[in-house]
Structure 1
Amino acid sequence: MVGLLNQAYPLTTIGVSLHLDPDDGPSAPPRIDVEVDLPEGVTLQRTISAEELGIPLTLAGIDEALSSGPPLRLPSGMHEQLREALELSPSAEPVWLEFQRPFGHLPAVPWERLLQPDLGRPLLRLPFSAIPAPPSADPVRIAVCSPWPGTAPLREFLQVVVPRLPGVQVDVFCRDPSAVSWAPPGAQVTVHELPEEEDVDPEPVGLSGRPVDEAELESPWLRWMAQTIAPDSVDVVHLVCPARLSQNFGLLDFGASPSGVDSPRAIRLVSTGQLLAGLTRLGAWSLSLAMADVRSSGRGEAGLRIFGHRMTGLLSGPVTLHLPSAAHAEELVAAYRFLYDPVPAPPPISPRLTIACHPGLVRARAVGAPAGSPGLARAIEATLDDCTPDPHLLRQARHDPAEAYAWVASSQRLLERWTSGLVGTETDPDASRTERDGVTSALRFISSVIEDAVRDNKGASR
């Protein structure tokens, strides 16, 4: 099924899904449906087997193939078929990768590595949230968390990426004593001093016998970040860490606590729910992931990929995944300039980058871009306007020194998430308006309460 964003905007997409045939027996080899869809119509439909792709379709199998298997490949002749199918699409616009249900663990496959060399233009992923990221005309504030010491990606981020983002403010949370020297002179980079053990290492929730509150942050790293940033907020969180697999999900491995205390498995492994709670507390609307070079086995890439995919349905802003390697930090520079720089920049072209973002972001940064399906696109944007506070008022609150902005940003993130659930990803938001009216009214009321509180605080501070 074509998703809501593909209906709302005139996109060139490559859709992938698991092939389900009622005539197939339980022993039938898994297959994948690939479809090229232009605004003018479908130009390619092909079914390929997992064997042709050179990768199994279980999460563990994908991870093993990525770490030690032969290079991934497209079936013979498919390169030419893709090029022919895309001939009629505008070469200056990106191609979008869309995961159509049922898709299983297909998001863990590095499709950029398979497809990008043949496209000659950017390949972006459609997120699983139809809500666009909040507009931001200011240089962003980034919180960088690198729990494992001695990681090259952290050094490269500070030495290569930060100098190319004028005005950006960076907060660094790590255990690398040398990180202070990696920050470029004159940059707004703060490497925060490691906390005392008792500040971030209380008795773990869930091990103390107390009921687990989802709002509590079990990870000492997330607690340290939230405590340090408050009462302010950040826009982007950049994580440099390895990942591990559960049966069907990925988990981030934060290792020991900031004070160097070994954490039990239940605390060191961070789920999407725990990270989402941390991002909400920080007010962050975008996530960037980079694989740390600390595990000799090289495993965990599939876990990081499926983790990032799940986060695209929980955040309104872009989700980026980068697999760092020598001399490739410039690719992350290009991604950050495209996503966060107030001055428009083109999407990067790289098989090592995975970027999931809202099509509205590309449209807003392109001069003379087509308006898309105006009615449906406007309906999505109008729902967001109805259910969340006025962006202009939020920008004013952010720059008001009397405003404890963290609660405003956190509330905005919650409203965006609830609005995303209201809109969905596959159906027209006007299709069930009667059922949605009650929820919309409730979100509008909460939004108005936040706006009134911000105005009252602004008036009291004069």
Structure 2
Amino acid sequence: MFLPSSLPATELLARTKHDGVILHVSLNFSPGNTEIQFDLSQRTGVAQHEHRVWKYPLAVMGVPSSLLQPQQDFTLPPEIAMDLRDELTAQALPAEQPLWLDLVRPYGLLGALPWESALGEHLRRPILRLPTFLERPHEDQNIADVAILVTADPNAHQDRTVWQVRAVVEAILTGSKRLQTRVHIFAPEPWHELLTRLPSEQLVERPTQLYQPPPIRRGPADLRRLWTKWMSESLGGQALDAVHVICDVEPTMTNSMLVLRQPWKTQGRQVVTWLSVEDLCAMLTLLGAWAVTITPRTHLHCMNAAAFFADTAAHTRPGPLLYHPLEVPDDANALTDGYRFLLSPEPTQPPTLLRGFLYGLPSAVADAATKVGDESPANNSAMLTKGSSVPPPQQVPNWASATQRFFENAMLDELRRASDDVLLSRSNGIGKTVNSASVRQTLSDIKDVVSRHLSLGTSATTGDARSHLRTSISPSQFVRPHEAIVEIGASDKGRLSVRLLKSLVGHHDSRRHKSMFLDYAKLPKLDTLQNVTSYATQIRDALCRHRAVAAELERIAGSTPSALRFVVDVPEAETPRWEAVSMPPFLALKPDCTVTRIAYKSDIRDPGVRTFSWPIRMIAFLSAANASAEEELKAIHSAVLLARQRGLRLICSIYLGEQQLIDRASEYPGVDVTFVPPSALEVGQVIKDQSPQIVHFFCHGLNEAGERLLELATICDWDTQKRIGSVRMSIERLRQVLISTGATWLTVLNTCSGATPAGSLPSMASELAQSASPVTIGMAEPIKADAATVFTRAFYGRVFEKLKESLSGVDWGDAAMLDLGLAVNAAREKLHEEYQDTPKDAYGTWCLPVLYERDTPLRVLMLPEDMKTRIELIAGALRSLPASTPLLVRKEILKTLGNPPPVPEKLRPDAFGNLV
């Protein structure tokens, strides 16, 4: 086992004593004139030399505004291509040495562009993308086990997909120079049947195995877990080195999702699910894989989306990533070169890819490798050579490799926490290691347990894990007085489908999908009473095509209290306003009835429990250009004062852009009032420094170059009467900031303009709820400033009341459960009351707030910081282990929480990482 050094990319690169040239590409989000900046820098040995800078307006580069746009030709401005070539010639960089492409986050859709083709055409040298985390993953460099996952649509391009599988097998076996290379193919029906028919010499050689799909499973299934279990059991608990996915990728306006299909063959509807980048990374961790390759099914529709998905994955987890479209025979040769580099047991020359891209590691490039610390993976084991009489070693068990992948991910997370830039996009200010002794000691304790059992040869048969599950809170166990969960998915005919996932009453065929005849593009606007009523009726009629759903809606309409929760399972189902459903009455306006959406947790390392210490902290950024925040400030201030008067220990910091409001700070006693920080980096640092439980934004929201942004106006913007704010906070940065604190319970995106349903705030809210903030609220459409303030006043009055009620008497080691759904209900009721009569086109304002929450209730636990860190790391490690992990290993990892200072028994997770 090997603990990463936790050094940032820039520091590791500085320790790599070789000549190298880096092209930094970044977006400058200047109001009204966003630019692409190119910054070329050279290093000789460890010295950093002067750099050259070019800037071009975004508009002239042909960058798509969304992933829904078709593939476009992308060319660099001729002058920059010539300048780059001249610079590299002047610097005498050897032709075999790569140009490192550093895409500086946040960069929107720039990662989906074919930089390698555009640059390679002029520079005639390898182009490698620089990953966030440069330390080489720990691996056995004698063996390569690679799995091929075929998840592409079986109803299209069958011949091409079969050719792709054959080409990938050939590329792996030809490219790998390791002593032992094995290929494992996991293909659902009918792909399995098609591949089985091939003559063995065309596909299945001795080191290649095609696995039988699992038997048909009746009822609902988590396809991600099912695929992981199928692969793990088929491999006999053996770890993988790399996973190659041949897949479809579906785009939304600003995101993309990998399509995963059921592995068995059925006569009826084919079940599919959409994997986020985090979902795929979780699968890779469980399988122990340190590298991943992505090949999209060949059609223009998904090329941008697939490249964007792969590029995002490269920054989400440590380790190399290869993206290759594999469309023509020449691509197969390039893929072979890619695998020759990926699977090389020693540093080698990188490939020159004119299609696709490779996130490589400087230590893997010939003449660029360096020893980083005494435990460098390259020095961990003696290398065997071909012809050696020593038999090749066996692959380590997947639970050991999964632990190693957890270490690498955990250190990347801790590095972000230690850095003043959570995206690790700047070279200055992040050259420091993680100094948390608690983190280091906890990971070292886990390492010692796993290493000891590896040396003892502990097997998965040591205890049956399934019989030792401790009871923990799960979605099926936490049921409100009357709750129904309705899933909106996709049918096999391209329509939306509906089914009932959960209710207190059993229904025949409740989980069977039923197509919905709903053309949401033709739904009326949610403005007047007449249009809102028509909209609500059409939503109801579509849902009620499913008899079990219809029965539950009737039951909820007549029950108090009650809850209706929607699982939006496909991106296109996010746009319709399900919250407007009426039986009648409008269910979201019914007293004691909550209508929310579920965002499933996307990170297996997230314990699902938020820890805290008194007092509760709230932070609010109130500055939307051309829309005064005075009433919003008054609403938050009055809610905070009232909560304090009622005994809630709460502190609140408010950041403003209007100087006149800051000058009158004395009118708002009890809250800290100051100016909006002048950059997104500093906004993020403010949040990290305070680690608030509640984060509130009153600002504009927009989408630019595919990057979703929150726009804040500074004092200077207000003084010069600018209509556009100069501080632009990407949702990616905000998400990483909130993840790094691990403290946030609730985030409110109360934007006053600039949002569109498909590309802005609802999807922002969903993304934050999945990974960073268990409860997140966004506005489905642009909301006027006065309506936003009506929402704020009613919402926080109820939120603080609920916190006081739930947390009263909570002390060290105590836990509480929070349900904030009724707070949104109160805000909707107030908006309905305020705009019921005038103006006529504002009646539907109450439909704007959309609440996303986790599938399990928000649980909070009062703990000291060091104890919290240890518990969360151990719980995350246990959840990252595959099902084949010996129970004895799990128990001994859990037992390390008894090391001084011991964690009380009642606060420890169970052997599977569930916090009770």
Report the TM-score range of the alignment, normalised by the length of the smaller protein. Answer: 0.7 to 0.9
Matched with 2:181 is 168
3-state SS of 1:299 partner: helix
Instruction: List runs of 5+ in structure 2 lacking aligned partners.
Output: 1-7, 385-389, 417-423, 462-916
Indicate if the aligned counterparts of 1:133 and 1:358 stay in contact, CA closer than 8 A: no
Residues 222 and 445 (structure 1), Cα distance of their counterparts in 2 relative to 1, 3 Å cut? closer
Separation in structure 2 between the aligned mates of residue 112 and residue 42 of structure 1, nearest angstrom: 24
Separation in structure 2 between the aligned mates of residue 271 and residue 47 of structure 1, nearest angstrom: 33
Find 2:354's aligned residue among 351, 355, 366: 351
Moved over 6 A (4+): 427-430
3-state SS of 1:231 partner: coil
Separation in structure 1 between the aligned mates of residue 131 and residue 323 of structure 2, nearest angstrom: 13
Question: What aligned pairs does 1:448-459 form with structure 2 within 5 A after superposition?
Answer: 448-457=448-457
Separation in structure 1 between the aligned mates of residue 286 and residue 150 of structure 2, nearest angstrom: 19
Give CA deviations for 1:375-426 in whole Å, capped at 9, x if unaligned: xx83xx56x77xx9x9549x99x9469x7x1211111111111122233445
Matched with 1:446 is 446
Separation in structure 2 between the aligned mates of residue 262 and residue 131 of structure 1, nearest angstrom: 45
Matched with 2:259 is 253
Residues 49 and 255 (structure 1), Cα distance of their counterparts in 2 relative to 1, 3 Å cut? farther
RMSD: 3.3
TM-score w.r.t. the length of structure 2 is: 0.42
Q: Whose radius of gyration is greater, 1 or 2?
A: 2
* Structure 2 residue 47 is matched with structure 1 residue 46: no
Question: What aligned pairs does 1:324-403 form with structure 2 within 5 A after superposition?
Answer: 324-327=326-329, 328-342=331-345, 345-362=348-365, 366-367=366-367, 369=368, 371=370, 378=372, 381=373, 391-392=380-381, 399=393
Give CA deviations for 1:228-252 in whole Å, capped at 9, x if unaligned: 2241111100000121123433211
Residues 107 and 400 (structure 1), Cα distance of their counterparts in 2 relative to 1, 3 Å cut? closer
Matched with 1:75 is 77
Give CA deviations for 1:28-65 in whole Å, capped at 9, x if unaligned: 24320011111142442111123322223x342xx524
Indicate if the aligned counterparts of 1:36 and 1:44 stay in contact, CA closer than 8 A: yes
Query: Comparing both chains, which one has the higher relative contact order based on Cα–Cα distances under 8 Å and sequence gaps of 6 or more?
Result: 1
Letter in 1 for 2:296: M
Find 1:196's aligned residue among 215, 229, 233: 215
Find 1:90's aligned residue among 84, 90, 93: 93
Separation in structure 1 between the aligned mates of residue 369 and residue 230 of structure 2, nearest angstrom: 44
* Structure 2 residue 168 is matched with structure 1 residue 157: yes
Letter in 2 for 1:438: S
Matched with 1:133 is 137
Fraction of identical pairs, as percent: 20
Give CA deviations for 1:305-342 in whole Å, capped at 9, x if unaligned: 22212222343321000011221201000000111033
Question: What aligned pairs does 1:258-337 form with structure 2 within 5 A after superposition?
Answer: 258-260=264-266, 262-264=269-271, 267-293=272-298, 298-327=300-329, 328-337=331-340
Give CA deviations for 1:51-101 in whole Å, capped at 9, x if unaligned: 322223x342xx5242xx3x2111132211111222205223111110123
Letter in 2 for 1:237: V
Question: What aligned pairs does 1:215-254 form with structure 2 within 5 A after superposition?
Answer: 218=224, 220-254=226-260
Letter in 2 for 1:317: G
Separation in structure 2 between the aligned mates of residue 283 and residue 428 of structure 1, nearest angstrom: 32
Indicate if the aligned counterparts of 2:278 and 2:316 stay in contact, CA closer than 8 A: no
> CA shift at 1:160, angstroms?
5.2
Residues 230 and 186 (structure 1), Cα distance of their counterparts in 2 relative to 1, 3 Å cut? closer
Separation in structure 2 between the aligned mates of residue 320 and residue 172 of structure 1, nearest angstrom: 18
Separation in structure 2 between the aligned mates of residue 96 and residue 409 of structure 1, nearest angstrom: 29
3-state SS of 2:443 partner: helix
> CA shift at 1:262, angstroms?
4.0
3-state SS of 1:64 partner: coil
Separation in structure 1 between the aligned mates of residue 444 and residue 172 of structure 2, nearest angstrom: 39
Separation in structure 1 between the aligned mates of residue 294 and residue 78 of structure 2, nearest angstrom: 33
Residues 448 and 222 (structure 1), Cα distance of their counterparts in 2 relative to 1, 3 Å cut? closer
Residues 3 and 304 (structure 1), Cα distance of their counterparts in 2 relative to 1, 3 Å cut? farther
TM-score w.r.t. the length of structure 1 is: 0.79
Instruction: List runs of 5+ in structure 1 lacking aligned partners.
Output: 206-216, 372-376
> CA shift at 1:288, angstroms?
0.4
Separation in structure 2 between the aligned mates of residue 370 and residue 2 of structure 1, nearest angstrom: 14
Separation in structure 2 between the aligned mates of residue 450 and residue 2 of structure 1, nearest angstrom: 28
Q: Give the total of aligned pairs.
A: 411
Range with greater deviation from structure 2 (157-166 or 91-100): 157-166
Residues 299 and 4 (structure 1), Cα distance of their counterparts in 2 relative to 1, 3 Å cut? farther
Indicate if the aligned counterparts of 1:140 and 1:168 stay in contact, CA closer than 8 A: yes
Residues 143 and 110 (structure 1), Cα distance of their counterparts in 2 relative to 1, 3 Å cut? same
Residues 249 and 227 (structure 1), Cα distance of their counterparts in 2 relative to 1, 3 Å cut? farther
